[in-house]
Structures are given as C-alpha cells and as structure tokens.
Amino acid sequence: MTEIAGASFNPKDLNPLEADLMAAAEFVKRLDEIMGLEFEALKTRDLTAFESIQDEKTRLLQQLAALAEQALAQKPVPDLWLQLQDSLHQSKQNHLRNSQLLQRQLAAVKGSLQALQGESAPNVDLYDRMGQMAKRHGAWGYQLA
C-alpha cells in the first residue's frame, strides 16, 4: 500500500498512467535534489560535478515531459499530476536561478579574457580578492579629488 495525500493506494489497483504519476513524485523530488547540487557546483565553479549531473537531470526532465503530455491529455487532468505542480514550479524557479548564475559566471570569464587581451569590457563587473565588486578604471570620479 502507498499513501498519497492521505489516501491509501494499492499499486496493483492503478491504471498505468496513475502508476507512472505516482513514480513522478519521486522524479520531482530527485529533480529538486539535482537542482540544489547543480547550484552548489556552480557556486564553487566545480565543472566536473556540474557536468556529472547533467545526464540524470536531462533524463528526469524527459520523463516528466512525457508524463506531462499524457496527464494533460486526460480530461479531467489527474489529481496526482495537479499535486505535483507546486514542486515542479519550484524546480523551474531553481533552474532559472542556476541559469542566471551560469550566465553571470560566463560573462565574468568573458570580461576577464577581454581584459587579458587588452580589449575593453564595459558591461562586466569583476571582483577583487575580497569578493567585492572591483572598481572600474573610469569609476574613480570624486574619490581621487
């Protein structure tokens, strides 16, 4: 017997879609864990760890997309699928957070490369040894006066 939202189910009594939707709860939980691992890997710039979780993340997203297609084709949409929506929305927000962090890191690397090559990079903020935003060359203004 399995319990979801206070109701007990015997997996043998479920149709295949319902059984898949019950498994989707575990997929969503694992996806949330992966998003956290991905964020930590990005924060520490551990590309090996970041790359190692991409295959599993992609596989989970493909499985959830297939389940979404099946669930949304049902009229009415199964309650089991509707119960997963908040968790899926949180995973989407975590993905956007991770994507933004990755984009900022790429922009910083691009700016560093441009600085090393003698090109100007006016739109990139670089950081000093203390992790604070470095002052730009033209940004001294009144501080020198």
pLDDT tens-digit readout, 33-76: 999 999 999 999 999 999 999 999 999 999 999 999 999 998 89
pLDDT in tens, 84-138: 999 999 999 999 999 999 999 888 888 888 888 887 655 555 665 566 666 555 5
The pTM of this model reads 0.68
Distance CA 127, CA 4 (A): 48
How far, in Å, are 23, 67, 115, 133 from residue 112 at the CA level?
45, 43, 5, 13
d(CA 76, CA 99): 34
Which of 97-100's residues contact partners 24+ apart within 8 Å by CB, and which partners?
97/39, 98/35, 98/38, 98/39, 98/42
